[in-house]
């Protein structure tokens, strides 16, 4: 596996994990502040424009920031990984 592929894999996994955590955090914060579950589908007629736009913008921004932070953190972990080349431990875990 090429080094660039490993960087991409680690960065993607970190970004997905950060996105999932951000979404769960947003759901909990919404429930705490509004007192009910966030809209599952903002397209539904019972969801008002303001609520749909705020939920979409808020979660979009939060997940976007989390993805960037996750990718950067993943790259930093790979850079600091012991071994002669970055990603040696990841290749070992993947059996390559």
- Residue pair 31/38 in contact by the 8 Å Cβ criterion: yes
Give the DSSP letter of residue 2. Answer: -
- Residue pair 66/18 in contact by the 8 Å Cβ criterion: yes
- Residue-range domain boundaries for the chain: 3-94
Say which residue the tokens 């007192």 belong to: 35
Q: Under 8 Å CB-to-CB from 36, ≥6 apart: which residues? A: none
Q: What pLDDT digit, counting tens, does each position of 41-80 carry?
A: 888 888 888 888 888 888 889 888 888 888 788 777 777 7
Q: What pLDDT digit, counting tens, does each position of 80-89 carry?
A: 766 545 556 5
pTM of the model: 0.62
Residue 87: CB atoms within 10 Å: 21
């Amino acid at each position: 596996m090429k080094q660039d592929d490993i960087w991409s894999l680690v960065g993607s996994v970190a970004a997905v994990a950060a996105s999932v955590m951000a979404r769960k955090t947003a759901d909990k914060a919404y429930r705490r502040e509004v007192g009910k579950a966030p809209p599952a589908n903002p397209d539904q007629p019972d969801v008002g424009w303001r609520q749909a736009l705020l939920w979409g913008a808020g979660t979009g921004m939060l997940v976007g920031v989390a993805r960037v932070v996750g990718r950067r953190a993943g790259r930093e972990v790979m850079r600091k990984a012991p071994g002669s080349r970055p990603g040696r431990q990841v290749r070992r875990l993947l059996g390559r």
